[in-house]
Amino acid sequence: MKKDPNDETYRSFTIVDGRYLYLPKSKTQDYYDVDSGVIVQAVEGRWNYDVRLLPTGATSSDDEHTVYRGVINFENQITGSEGEELVYANGPHKVATFNGLIGDGILTSIPVTHDIGNQFLQVSIYEVSTSEKVECEIELTSSTVTTFRFNVAPTVDQYRVIITG
């Protein structure tokens, strides 16, 4: 892809599974001059791209032809994060996980204390006997408690919960 169709340099996609165009992170970043630190090519802006096909059995690159043309608009700070998702003051972010069994044959609302320290988590629940995923109402109660609600009280240790954050 090129910002200007007449540019000598370009950034190329990787084709995944024979049909998806993938642009790795390294190709979506600004290019800097190593010595001066000045931006040589900023990614922000309008980029033109062609999808070109070299037919099976072709004997020359002259057989290549364009099958699709498009435009991609890149914006800086689209997430508003100022790049903070890439910088960790205390080293890489550690993912905490709680894994436990729930159910006592009595409660239909079961609070689970996990001490992960984050209220916004990924939560999964599985039937212990079959390992099948189970649907129930899940309340992200606090940064240390997640509550599971059922229409019928689960039997003793009927479900395995996995909480990640």
Instruction: Determine the average pLDDT of the residues in 122-133.
Output: 93
**pLDDT at 84 exceeding the cut of 50:** no
Q: What is the pLDDT of residue 91?
A: 45
For the chain, give every domain's residue range.
Answer: 14-86, 97-164
Q: What is the pLDDT of residue 123?
A: 92
Is this prediction's pTM over 0.85? no
**pLDDT at 90 exceeding the cut of 50:** no
Please name which of 79, 72, 76 lies closest in space to residue 11, comparing C-alpha atoms: 72
- Cα separation, 22 vs 14, whole angstroms: 5
Contact by Cβ (8 Å): 108, 147: no
